[in-house]
Amino acid sequence: MEIVDLNKWGIKNDDLPLGIVGPCSAETEEQMMATAKDLVHKNVHVFRAGVWKPRTKPGTFEGVGEPGLKWLCKVRDTYGMKVGTEVATDEHVRLALKYDIDVLWVGARTTVNPFAVQELADALKKYGGLDKPVLVKNPINPDLDLWIGALERFSAVGVTKLGAIHRGFSTYEKIQYRNVPKWQIPIEFMRRLPNVPMVCDPSHIGGKRDLIYDLSQTALNLEFDGLMIESHEKPDEAWSDASQQVVPARAIEITEELELRKAKAENSATINKLDALRKQIDELDHRLIAILAQRMDVAKEIGQVKKDSNVAVLQASRWDELVGDRTEKAIAQGLSEEFTTRFLTAIHQESINNQDKLMHSSK
C-alpha cells in the first residue's frame, strides 16, 4: 500500500491528530445543525454522522437515509467542516458520492464480509470515487488478516487514501468495555502497514461516555493518528448509542486536554535516555533468547533419555509442579499470573514439539 500523508487527503492541514466528531446517527436537520454549530473547533476536522445504521436487532432506528446526506452538506456549507458517513452497499456509495461526502467509512459489521467489502470497492471505482478517503473499521471479530484484507480490496481497485479505525472487538464476556480493545491488534496492524493512518474510536470501544478520555489518551500514547468521537447535542435523547455520546463542549474539552506525544522525541536528553534504555532492552532480549535456546537443548536431552528408556513425552504431574513453582516466583517478582502462564505454556509446547520430533526420528 502506498505511503499516505494525512495532510494530503484534503481534509486537514496541521500537525494535530485527525479529529472526526459528530453524532452516531443523523436524526433531524435541527439536531445535526445544533450539534455541528458547537463542534466548530480546530481539533475537529470532520463532522461524522451515520445516515444508514447497521443495527444488531431489527425494529430499532435504522437511519434516515438520503435526507441525512443533505444535512451533512448543509453542515459543510454552513460551518466549513468536512463531513463523513458510513457506507455499506453499492447504493450507499453511489449516493454518498452524489453528495460529494468528504470521508467514507466502512463499519465493523461490513468489514467482516469480503463480499460486501468487494461490492464497496467496485462501487467506488464504478461511480468515480477512487479519490475519496476511505477508513476501514476493524471487523467485529479479532481477525487482523480480515481487516488488512479489506484494505487490500480497496487498494486493488485503486483507492489511495486508505486509513483504519480501531473500534474494539465484540465479546460474549461481561467486561468493562462494550468492545474489548485488544490493543495488540492495531499495534500489529501499524507494524505491518506503517503508512496507513490509524484512528481510534473510543466511543464504540468504551460504550460509556466516561471511558472516552482514557481510551483516547491510550491511543495517542500508542501513536494513533486520530480519534473518532461520538457527540450529540442531547446525548441521553440520542436515537442510537445514547450512553456513549458526549455533548459537543465535552468532546472538544477531551481533545484539548489530551496530551499529544511527539512521534519523535525532539530534545536530545530524551533521545539519549531512550537510546540507553533501548540498548538495555536489546541486551536483555539477546540474553533471553540465548537462555531459551539453552533450555530447549536441555529439554531435547531429556527427550533423548525418555526415548532410550521408553518413557512418555508428557508427564503431567511434573508439569503442574513446575508451573506452580515458577508462577509463584514470577508473581513475587512483579509479573502477572496471566502472562507467566502464557509464557510457560508456550515454552512447554515448544519442548513437547521437540521431544515428539525426537521420538519419531530414527536416532
Q: Which range, of 10-18, 106-114, 154-162, 211-219, touches ligand PEP by CB under 6 A?
A: 106-114
What one-character DSSP code corresponds to residue 169? B
Distance of CA 220 to the CA centre of its chain: 12
The answer to whether residue 137 forms part of the interface with ligand PEP (CB under 6 A) is yes
Q: Which range, of 107-115, 116-124, 150-158, 260-268, touches ligand PEP by CB under 6 A?
A: 107-115
Grid cell listed for 280? 538495555
Q: Which helix H or strand E contains 213, and what residues bound it? A: helix 212-221
The answer to whether residue 201 forms part of the interface with Mn ion (CB under 5 A) is no
Can you tell me the distance from the alpha carbon of 132 to that of 161, in angstroms, rounded to the nearest whole number? 7
Residue whose CB is less far from ligand PEP, 137 or 161: 137
Interaction residues for ligand PEP, span 199-218 (CB under 6 A):
204
Considering only residues 22, 107, 197, 202, which one is a binding residue for ligand PEP as defined by CB under 6 A?
107
The answer to whether residue 178 forms part of the interface with ligand PEP (CB under 6 A) is no
Q: Which range, of 137-145, 156-164, 239-247, 299-307, touches Mn ion by CB under 5 A?
A: 239-247
Q: Helix 337-360 crosses helix 316-332 at what angle (to 10 degrees)?
A: 150
Determine phi and psi for 228, rounding to 5 degrees.
-120, 115
Residue whose CB is less far from ligand PEP, 95 or 112: 112
Residue whose CB is less far from ligand PEP, 24 or 200: 24
Interaction residues for ligand PEP, span 286-325 (CB under 6 A):
none
Grid cell listed for 161? 487514501
Can you tell me the distance from the alpha carbon of 361 to that of 138, in angstroms, rounded to the nearest whole number? 44
For the CB of residue 228, give the shortest distance to ligand PEP in the complex, in Å: 7
Collect all residues with Cβ–Cβ distance below 8 Å to 155 and sequence separation of at least 6.
1, 2, 162
Q: Which range, of 104-112, 304-312, 339-347, 355-363, touches ligand PEP by CB under 6 A?
A: 104-112
Considering only residues 82, 92, 153, 167, which one is a binding residue for ligand PEP as defined by CB under 6 A?
167
Q: Which does 107 bind (CB under 5 to 8 A by kind): Mn ion, ligand PEP, none?
A: ligand PEP
Instruction: Please report the sign of the dihedral spanned by the C-alpha atoms of residue 6, residue 196, residue 232, residue 83.
Output: positive
Can you tell me the distance from the alpha carbon of 274 to that of 331, in angstroms, rounded to the nearest whole number? 27
Give the chain's length.
363
Q: Which range, of 66-74, 105-113, 296-304, 339-347, touches ligand PEP by CB under 6 A?
A: 105-113
C-alpha distance across the termini of the chain, in Å: 48
The three-point CA angle 176-179-185 to 5° equals: 115
The answer to whether residue 24 forms part of the interface with Mn ion (CB under 5 A) is yes
For the CB of residue 238, give the shortest distance to Mn ion in the complex, in Å: 9
CA distances from 254 to 19, 83, 201, 249 (A): 11, 20, 13, 9
Residue whose CB is less far from ligand PEP, 108 or 196: 108
Residue with cell 450507499: 92
For the CB of residue 256, give the shortest distance to ligand PEP in the complex, in Å: 23
Grid cell listed for 241? 448509542
Binding mask 10-29 toward ligand PEP (x if CB under 6 A, else -) reads: --------------x-----
8 A C-beta contact, residue 331 and residue 343: no
Residue with cell 479479532: 142
Residue whose CB is less far from Mn ion, 119 or 241: 241
Q: Give the CB-nearest residue to ligand PEP.
A: 107
Binding mask 41-70 toward ligand PEP (x if CB under 6 A, else -) reads: ---------x---x----------------
In the complex, the residues that contact Mn ion under the rule CB under 5 A are: 24, 241
Binding site for ligand PEP (CB under 6 A): 24, 50, 54, 107-109, 137, 167, 204
